[in-house]
Amino acid sequence: GMDAVVDPLAQQFLAAAARAADWIAARQNSDGSFCETEDAISGYYKVPFALSLAGRQRQALQLADWIAEHHFSPAGDFGPPGHRGSDHERWPTYQNAWLVQGLHRLERWDLSLQGARFLLEYQVPLGGFYAREGETRIVEPVCTSWSGLAALTTGYLAAARKAGDAL
């Protein structure tokens, strides 16, 4: 029932998760950022999702505001203006897909829905999402998985189904 005692191991896991969320939040700058404006998103792209799961909405939304101001293009790409880092260049959807999912959980639909539309530009007719090896486009399973989940999260069900079918 509702009065059942939580398993001691589960209590330890919950306490560890709370310590991890505290550790992340302690590294946030006063403007909401986790990096310099010109830095890539690789240092924080999972943070909105993690903070939202940990109930740290205030910190997560402060980061979302910073992202909207400094790391979001009108096309829906995340990162500093003009940035094309090596990871982002090779795997253009992976980090973006994490941000789309985390920001959608935070109800920042202005960012998540435009971000999802950007991701869909990388879906091939077969349903997979591509990465790049030099100038060659390859359907990549990790990019397909996370982009498919981002499509599902944001209500692009046909695109999500195509990604699942491709996998």
For 61-96, what is each residue's pLDDT tens digit?
Answer: 999 999 999 999 999 999 887 766 667 788 889 999
Would you state the pLDDT for residue 83?
A: 67
Would you state the pLDDT for residue 85?
A: 63
Q: Please provide the DSSP assignment of 105-163 as one string.
A: HTT-HHHHHHHHHHHHTTB-TTS-BEEEETTEEEE-HHHHHHHHHHHHHTT-HHHHHHH
Radius of gyration for the chain, computed over Cα atoms and rounded to the nearest angstrom: 17
- pLDDT tens-digit readout, 93-150: 999 999 999 999 999 999 999 999 999 999 999 999 999 998 899 999 999 999 999 9
Is residue 44 pLDDT above 90, yes or no?
A: yes
Range with lowest mean pLDDT among 37-41, 50-54, 121-125: 37-41
Q: What is the mean pLDDT of the chain?
A: 93
Q: Rounded mean pLDDT of 146-165? A: 98
Give the residue carrying structure tokens 């990388």.
Answer: 122
Q: Please provide the DSSP assignment of 69-93 as one string.
A: HHSB-TTS-BSSTT---HHHHHSTT
Q: Count CB-CB contacts under 10 A for residue 104.
A: 22
Is residue 38 pLDDT above 80, yes or no?
A: yes
Q: Rounded mean pLDDT of 13-19? A: 94
Task: Select from 82, 71, 158, 81 the least CA-distant residue to 115.
Answer: 71
Q: What is the pTM of this model?
A: 0.91
Would you state the pLDDT for residue 1?
A: 53
Q: Identify any residues that bridge with 136 across adjacent strands, giving them in sequence order.
A: 133
Task: Select from 110, 89, 90, 111 the least CA-distant residue to 100.
Answer: 111
Residue 8 burial by CB count (10 A; 0-12/13-18/19+): exposed, middle or buried?
A: exposed
Q: Identify any residues that bridge with 131 across adjacent strands, giving them in sequence order.
A: 138
